[in-house]
């Protein structure tokens, strides 16, 4: 039975990786599982230690950690000393001490010099019956001892992105229940069906789940990074478009030449986003005068959209938040510029896009739509003649947002049966703006 509150070991400060919104230091981890004996593990650790020079020459720092079997922790301490490579364990017990035959506490791992510990791997769930409650208890023990838990999570079967997000978030939220605010954690997204497969999960699949996990980490107030595991190796990181902070490797790191290649890929300076092509079924006919606005939570997405729109030939004016302003101020300023005819269209970005849409729609003559997907983006124009598209920086990835933005830009109001409905919207607006005695809302 898992105790609700295991006694804590003396905690030591965990290394900060910055708040979730800040630039996160890239990270690469390797779990050796039970593939090597003790002599082979020592040889491999020596080869990793020899990467010290390569690590120092990377264009930006990368945190590298390795997780050998318990008996090899002393070897890791000896062989990795002074290299900058951290080490840890593949499992931990939730109790600090007591009658737990064969178990190892988080405090003992910390005494052994460990920095990281893996919890919740699918193999431990499958073979040893570990549950979400077990993983939460182990996460809490790790955090209290000053270790960084590497929380493994992922769906069992390939049943689409929506199911993957739902199943993964259940596991992540449960594990984070054991970690207090401002704890440092790493979430290793490992779809079970991709572990040991010939290829990793498709990049769009990984990006979708990673975006949802990122939002979950923000909501819990932890300092979190995300790595992808599941047949990860050379070439994997570059396809993930900045959606993860690194990789969690297995057998593909047994050859340290491959590990070095991964480190170089992860350390490469971020490239400007590769903008999607216009949807094939559409042809861009016009460029527009576009007002762009965002609050402080969405600056990065807004800047990417500005570059994208400029590259497409649109004339962009940034009307984002000044000091002391919040999203209603931005939304009103942008919406008024459209209502006055200064801009033909506008794009607003905040955490969800919902608040911006609500505020913009208070300006007479404005139809602002929150855009969650490409179909909604197209219908916002074709059916509703929406002049303003509102996006959520915490509800969708940048690449998905750009695809939706393109659908919205190249769609025109269809008229026909939609025209009377839009006219009725205008009449509703006119009646309620001019009718006296309405209660304030």
Active site positions, annotated:
121, 190
Which pair of tokens denotes residue 276?
């999607």
Q: Which of 91, 96, 47, 46 is nearest to 69 (CA)?
A: 91
Distance CA 396, CA 400 (A): 6
- Helix (H) or strand (E) segment spanning residue 111: helix 106-111
Burial class (CB in 10 A: 0-12, 13-18, 19+), 422: middle
Question: What 3-state DSSP class applies to 278?
Answer: coil
Strand 86-89 to strand 63-67: parallel, antiparallel, or no bridges (unpaired)?
A: parallel
Please state, in angstroms and rounded to a whole number, the distance separating the CA atoms of residues 274 and 279. Answer: 15
Paired tokens of 134? 């077990």
Task: Show the tokens assigned to 111.
Answer: 């005494």
For residue 415, CA distances in Å to 352, 366, 381, 386, 419 come to: 29, 17, 10, 12, 5
Instruction: For residue 45, count other CB atoms closer than 10 A to its CB.
Output: 25
Say how far residue 377 (Cα) sits from the centre of its chain: 23
- Residues 435, 54: Cα–Cα separation, whole Å: 72
Q: In whole angstroms, what is the distance from residue 76 CA to residue 87 CA?
A: 7
């Amino acid at each position: 039975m898992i105790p609700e509150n295991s006694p804590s070991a003396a905690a030591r400060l965990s290394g900060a990786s910055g708040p979730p919104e800040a630039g996160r230091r890239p990270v690469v981890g390797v779990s050796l599982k039970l593939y090597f004996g003790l002599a082979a593990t020592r040889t491999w650790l020596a080869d990793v230690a020899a990467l010290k020079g390569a690590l120092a020459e990377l264009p930006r720092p990368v945190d590298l950690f390795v997780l050998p079997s318990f008996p090899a922790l002393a070897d890791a301490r000896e062989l990795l000393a002074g290299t900058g490579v951290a080490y840890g364990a593949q499992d931990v017990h939730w109790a600090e001490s007591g009658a737990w035959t064969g178990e190892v506490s988080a405090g003992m791992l910390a005494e052994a010099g460990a920095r990281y510990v893996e919890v919740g791997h699918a193999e431990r769930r499958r073979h040893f019956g570990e549950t979400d409650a077990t993983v939460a208890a182990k996460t809490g023990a790790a955090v209290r001892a000053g270790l960084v838990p590497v929380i493994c999570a992922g769906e069992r079967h390939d049943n689409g992105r929506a199911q993957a997000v739902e199943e993964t978030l259940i596991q992540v939220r449960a594990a984070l229940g054991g970690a207090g605010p401002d704890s440092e954690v790493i979430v290793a997204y490992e779809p079970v069906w991709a572990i040991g497969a010939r290829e990793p999960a498709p990049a769009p699949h990984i990006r979708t789940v990673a975006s949802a996990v990122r939002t979950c980490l923000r909501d819990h107030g932890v300092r979190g990074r995300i790595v992808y595991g599941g047949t990860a190796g050379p070439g994997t990181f570059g396809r993930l478009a900045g959606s993860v902070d690194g990789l969690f490797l297995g057998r593909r790191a047994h050859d340290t030449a491959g590990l070095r290649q991964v480190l170089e890929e992860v350390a490469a300076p971020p490239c400007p986003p590769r903008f999607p092509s216009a949807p094939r079924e559409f042809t861009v006919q016009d460029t527009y005068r576009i007002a762009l606005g965002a609050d402080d939570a969405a600056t990065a997405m807004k800047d990417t959209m500005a570059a994208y729109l400029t590259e497409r030939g649109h004339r962009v004016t940034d009307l984002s938040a000044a000091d002391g302003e919040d999203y209603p101020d931005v939304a009103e300023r942008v919406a008024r510029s459209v209502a006055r005819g200064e801009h033909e269209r506008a794009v607003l970005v905040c955490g969800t896009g919902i608040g911006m849409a609500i505020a913009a729609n208070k300006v007479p003559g404005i139809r602002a739509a929150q855009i969650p997907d490409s179909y909604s983006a197209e219908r916002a124009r074709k059916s509703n003649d929406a002049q303003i598209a509102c996006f959520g920086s915490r509800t969708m990835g940048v690449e998905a947002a750009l695809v939706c933005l393109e659908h919205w830009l190249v769609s025109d109001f269809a008229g026909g049966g939609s025209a009377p409905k839009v006219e009725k919207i205008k009449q509703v607006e006119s009646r309620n703006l001019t009718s006296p005695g309405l209660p304030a809302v």
